Amino acid sequence: MQKTWCSSITERRVNILHEVIRDIINYRETHDVKRNDFVQLLLNIKHGVTNDGSSFTFNEIAAQAFVFFIDGFETPSSIMMFAFYEMAKNQDIQDKVREEIRRAVAKYDGNITYDTDLYESSF
């Protein structure tokens, strides 16, 4: 199986995403469906509904959708990798993060939930 620029992304997976995007676009155009989402933004650009009157081809729409999809996975993992690397190198940072997590968890009776406010911490 041929690989693309990223080792985990095969040509087959790219083709599947193309098919999904094509199906969504065809359905929306056939049934006059409009939604407030990323695909609709790309469709608006495709049809020249922009401030500057520019438009996209299907391949450009598919490429933008692909980048949007990949960025949703790659960015968080890269950030976590960097954070864990820094904590592994710096024991003092690791200790501070651990203590702040313990304080936040204790505040919510030992549970980490969506409501556990880890944003109050300085780390």
pLDDT in tens, 64-98: 888 877 777 667 777 888 888 889 999 999 999 89
Q: Answer positive or negative: Cα dihedral of 106, 108, 111, 116.
A: negative
How confident is the model at residue 2, as a pLDDT? 46
pLDDT of residue 14: 81
- Residue 115: predicted pLDDT: 62
Q: Which residues of the chain have pLDDT under 50?
A: 1-7
Query: For the whole model, what pTM was predicted?
Result: 0.47
Task: Return the pLDDT at 4.
Answer: 43
Return the number of other C-beta atoms located less than 10 Å from residue 123's C-beta. Answer: 13
Q: Determine the pLDDT at residue 1.
A: 43
Residues 18 and 33: their CA atoms lie apart, in Å, by 19
